[in-house]
Amino acid sequence: MAQGLDEIDIKILKHLQKHGRAQRNRLAEIVHLSVPSVSERMRKLEEKELITGYHAVLDSKRFKFDITAFVFVEVDGSENYPKFIEAATTEPEILECHSITGDGSHILKIRTENTASFENLLSQIQAWPGVSKSRSNVVLSSFKETAELPIENTFEPK
């Protein structure tokens, strides 16, 4: 079993991935347990850091963040790595920062208002210490975007 989870934990986690605001009494109905039992299981899942937060997913277009882009960045030398990570993680328009293999050392997921704000952010990134190269891909349209993990097959029921 993954992380000491049972089938009930998996059902709770699957439901919370789709419905993060689910009330505990609804979860209790789904898994056929009492509300205190579900609350205790959720507390344990949070303590194990299997649940790391509850978030609202906002429609970026409605908030006028019309540009989504992925920027591949090459950072020279390990001495610049901490400065790069600090800069990337404190910049609000950078939603994700991943260390990667292949073309570049990092990939950034960016959401900005328009092409002018994207160009400005890109100039800032290129000026960060150790950034030697960047390559950008602007998203034209998105068909799937999720943080849900397919966890149903990660455990073996008893």
Domain extents in the chain = 2-55, 60-138
Helix (H, G, I), strand (E, B) or coil at 91: coil
Query: Whole-model pTM?
Result: 0.85
Distance CA 65, CA 63 (A): 6
Q: Give the containing element (helix H, strand E) for 132.
A: strand 131-138
- pLDDT value of position 156: 54
The whole-number pLDDT of residue 152 equals 79
Neighbours of 68 (CB within 10 A): 20
So what's the pLDDT on residue 158?
A: 45
Q: Averaged in consecutive runs of 10 residues, what is the pLDDT profile of the chain (158 residues)?
A: 80 94 95 97 95 92 97 93 96 97 94 98 97 97 92 64
Q: What are phi and psi of 138, to 5 degrees?
A: -90, 135
**pLDDT at residue 1, as a whole number:** 45
Strands 67-75 and 94-99: unpaired
CATH for 2-55 is: 1.10.10.10
Greatest alpha-carbon pair distance for the chain in Å reads 57
Which residue type sits at 62? R
Q: What's the pLDDT score for residue 77? A: 85
- 104-123 b/e (C-beta count within 10 Å ≥ 16 → b): bbbbbbbbbbeeebbeebbe
CATH architecture assigned to 60-138: 2-Layer Sandwich (3.30)
